[in-house]
Amino acid sequence: MRLELSVVLSIAIPVGVALLGLLVGIVVRRTVVARLTRAAAQTRSVLDDVVLAAVRGPVVVWFLIMGVYAALQLVTVSPALTGLIQRILLILLILSITWALATITAALVDAAARRAPEAVPAATLVTNLARIAVLGLGVLVVMQTLGISIAPIVTAGAVGGLAIALALQDTLANLFAGVHILASRQLRPGDYVKLASGEEGYVTDVTWRQTTIRQLPNNIIIVPNSQIASTITTNYYLPEAEMSVLVPVGVDYDSDLEHVERVTIEVAKEVLQEVEGGVAEFEPFIRYNTFADFSINFNVVLRAKEYVNQYLLRHEFIKRLHKRFEREGIVIPFPIRTVYMAKQDSVPRGE
């Protein structure tokens, strides 16, 4: 009876210690980590939020590993089995730490991209590459821990990589095209672009395979990175987001052009200062360009803060200019065509 009790205790105590480590990990995550997370949310630093979010999951694994390791000291097993279990625990510890570091790295890269988009592209591809780099280092550390030589794997990977590259030509082309797009800084998430094929909108993200563009009607266009890299693309945010807005206008030939210019510029200044999206400090101007069939035509040059602001500026400018022209007696003529018909003498039939 005593022998059976001792056997039960020899099993129950180590199992209890391992489960206690798991329980402590859960309690720490729900209490200590949760309180630290709430406290970190009150600070301006991003680092503490990122670190706590990354360790929230692995902390349970770490306490479980400690519990299993402590339980292993309370049981009598063969040295070979003890060494195997310890090695497994070490590998789990390395992988969990690597995962946490990869999450922290990706989050920091994303935060840096949001704070300084001109320095780091705010794209999924960049954060994924950062995460993969850290995970790759973790795998190498695990292989070193297991005593596995890396050189044969690198050699085999070079041979197998050629076959994989041939099989995944399109995928790799899109991957390298995405890296090129972000590295060249000619197209960034948030930019308004127009492709040679006619699609246009805001770039929302660049992934390892595709670039997503949100159109003004709120539709999403998905374009392979290789196509983006090889097509002619107009970026309305480079070299800056501000852009000129041209509004064509025509007035009657009897108009006083000096008066027309003065009135038009007054209306244009009013629109730029009062309408959202207008550059208030910009000095608008007009340029006469054509003696047309029924009017003298000119372009009014306004300035918008970004591409989509031009629509509201044109809308308000045309309304206000029409009203002001009517008040000033300036005529915007209708298209007129004069037809001259030659008269012919009537000839009696039969003669």
Q: Residue 287 — very low, low, confident or very high, per pLDDT cuts 50/70/90? A: very high
Q: What is the total count of domains within the chain?
A: 3
Name the DSSP class of 350.
T
The whole-number average pLDDT for the span 244-273 is: 93
How far apart CA 238 and CA 186 sit, in angstroms, is: 8
Asked whether residue 81 is assigned to any structural domain, the reply reads: yes
Asked whether residue 124 is assigned to any structural domain, the reply reads: yes
Asked whether residue 348 is assigned to any structural domain, the reply reads: no
How far apart CA 235 and CA 202 sit, in angstroms, is: 10
What's the CATH code of the domain at 182? Answer: 2.30.30.60
Burial 304-324 (b: 16+ CB within 10 A, else e): bbebebbeebbebbeebbeee
Same domain, 262 and 312: yes
Same domain, 100 and 16: yes
Q: What is the dihedral sign for C-alpha 223, 228, 232, 237?
A: positive
337's tokens: 């065509």
For residue 7, the surrounding DSSP H or E stretch is helix 2-28
The helix-helix angle for 309-328 and 257-274 (nearest 10°) equals 140
Q: Residue 229 — very low, low, confident or very high, per pLDDT cuts 50/70/90? A: confident
Same domain, 34 and 56: yes
Same domain, 29 and 109: yes
SS3 250: strand
Asked whether residue 160 is assigned to any structural domain, the reply reads: no
Same domain, 11 and 86: yes
Range of the domain at 27: 6-143
Residue in the block written with tokens 């395979």: 209
Same domain, 22 and 139: yes
Asked whether residue 310 is assigned to any structural domain, the reply reads: yes
Instruction: Quote the strand ranges of the chain, DSSP E.
Output: 192-195, 200-206, 210-214, 220-224, 233-235, 243-251, 285-291, 296-304
- Provide the 10 A C-beta neighbour count for residue 212: 17
Question: What one-character-per-residue DSSP string does 274-331 give?
Answer: HSTTB-TT---EEEEEEE-SSSEEEEEEEEESSTTHHHHHHHHHHHHHHHHHHHHT--
How far apart CA 100 and CA 50 sit, in angstroms, is: 10
What's the CATH code of the domain at 301? Answer: 3.30.70.100
Same domain, 207 and 311: no
Predicted pLDDT at 279:
92
Q: What is the pLDDT of residues 112-165, one digit of tens each?
A: 766 666 555 656 767 777 788 888 888 877 777 777 766 666 565 555 555 555
- State which amino acid sits at residue 28: V
| More confident call, 55 vs 307 | 307
The helix-helix angle for 124-145 and 150-167 (nearest 10°) equals 150
Same domain, 123 and 46: yes
Predicted pLDDT at 341:
73
- State which amino acid sits at residue 4: E
| More confident call, 111 vs 20 | 20
Same domain, 227 and 254: no
**Edge-first strand listing for the sheet containing 285-291:** 243-251, 296-304, 285-291
Same domain, 59 and 75: yes
Same domain, 37 and 129: yes
Judge contact between 252 and 295, C-beta under 8 A.
Answer: yes
Asked whether residue 163 is assigned to any structural domain, the reply reads: no
Most confident of 60-69, 201-210, 315-324: 315-324
How far apart CA 276 and CA 48 sit, in angstroms, is: 38
How far apart CA 63 and CA 17 sit, in angstroms, is: 11
Asked whether residue 20 is assigned to any structural domain, the reply reads: yes
Same domain, 135 and 231: no
Q: What is the pLDDT of residues 79-116, one digit of tens each?
A: 777 778 888 888 888 888 888 888 888 887 777 766 66
Q: Residue 351 — very low, low, confident or very high, per pLDDT cuts 50/70/90? A: very low
Asked whether residue 151 is assigned to any structural domain, the reply reads: no
Judge contact between 333 and 321, C-beta under 8 A.
Answer: no
